C-alpha cells in the first residue's frame, strides 16, 4: 500500500517582524511532518527562532516538546516533527538583529 502525503505552503512572501505564527493546519491523519522555511529576502545580522506548536482544537496553542530551532535569516531551515496530535503551526520570533526577512513556509506531511 502506498503511503499518503501532502504538501502545503502555509506562508508565501510573509515579512517576519518580532513574532509570527502560521495559519493552523489540521494534521490528525499524518504520522510525520517536516517544515521548510525559505528566506526569500535574507536579513543580514538577524537571527530567528522557530518553534513547532500543537493544539487539540486549532484555537488553543502550546509549544511542542521538540527543540526550538535558531538560525540566521538566510538560505533554508528545516526541522521534522512527530507525535503531534491534531493541529500544527510554526511560531517564529526574531531573537537578534533589526531586519525583517521575507519567508516562504512549507509543511510536508506523510502518513
Domains of the chain by range and CATH?
A: 5-110 (2.60.120.380)
The proportion of the chain whose per-residue pLDDT surpasses 70, expressed as a percent, equals 100
Which pLDDT score, from 0 to 100, does residue 23 have?
94
Positive or negative, the CA dihedral 69, 84, 81, 90 is negative
Which pLDDT score, from 0 to 100, does residue 2 have?
76
Cell numbers standing for residue 102: 521575507
End-to-end Cα, the chain, rounded Å: 11
Q: What is the mean pLDDT of residues 68-97?
A: 95
Q: What is the mean pLDDT of residues 56-63?
A: 96
Which pLDDT score, from 0 to 100, does residue 74 have?
95
* C-beta neighbour count of 21 within 10 angstroms: 15
Q: Dihedral (C-alpha) 99, 49, 39, 35: value to the nearest 10 degrees?
A: -160
Amino acid at each position: 500500500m502506498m503511503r499518503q502525503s501532502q504538501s502545503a505552503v502555509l506562508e508565501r512572501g510573509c515579512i517576519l517582524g518580532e513574532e509570527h505564527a502560521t495559519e493552523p493546519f489540521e494534521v490528525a491523519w499524518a504520522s510525520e511532518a517536516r517544515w521548510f522555511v525559505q528566506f526569500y529576502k535574507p536579513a543580514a545580522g538577524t537571527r530567528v527562532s522557530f518553534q513547532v506548536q500543537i493544539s487539540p482544537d486549532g484555537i488553543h496553542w502550546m509549544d511542542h516538546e521538540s527543540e526550538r530551532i535558531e538560525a540566521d535569516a538566510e538560505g533554508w531551515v528545516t526541522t521534522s516533527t512527530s507525535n503531534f496530535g491534531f493541529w500544527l503551526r510554526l511560531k517564529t520570533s526574531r531573537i537578534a538583529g533589526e531586519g525583517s526577512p521575507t519567508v516562504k513556509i512549507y509543511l510536508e506531511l506523510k502518513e
